[in-house]
Amino acid sequence: MNHTNSLELTIIGSGAVRVHPDRGGTAVCFRLGNRTILIDCGRCAVQNLVRFGIPVESVTDILLTHLHFDHVCDLAQLLLLSWNNGRTWRMPIIGPVGTRNFLEHNLRLAYVDDLATRIGKNQKDPDHFEWDVTEISEDGPVMQTAQFMIVAGRTPHTGMEAFNFRIE
């Protein structure tokens, strides 16, 4: 599909915290123009992206509504696989305050030996593994292109900073 003038929205997973054999965890993908944006990256997100014909290395941006495990548990796999499969840019990630710390502790430190091997022996470009995090703490626009704007809005969610995203 040519995404130049049309929005394609794919529900990658709509499950909740409890595992269901027919539903993956929370993840939504939309494609418009040259952007493939993933909102949340819950359980089975990577597998379901591939199942729906969306290569993980085609994801251009990631938005995180909040940092509960059921919304981010496939994030390490997505970042590692997209880089390993040829992603050639630093991944832009927009999420609540704490996103940068989450990535450092739950990805970079957890996979330090794996990363060293891929960078050294396999000669993967370490800069392409990196991410550019924008942490949000208030309502308002978080991304804008000539074709669309994404606006974040706070939403109450079990005591954790959480946001919804509106695409205009």
Catalytic amino acids? 70
Measure the CA angle with vertex 64, ends 59 and 68; round to 5°: 130
Residues 6+ apart with CB under 8 A from 66: 95, 96, 157, 160, 161, 162, 163
User: If 0-12 CB within 10 Å is exposed, 13-18 middle and 19+ buried, where does residue 165 land?
Assistant: buried
Asked whether 30 and 46 are in contact (CB, 8 A), the reply is: no
Per the listing, tokens 């970042």 go with 79
The Cα–Cα gap between 56 and 85 comes to 8
The Cα–Cα gap between 66 and 63 comes to 9
3-state secondary structure of 104: helix
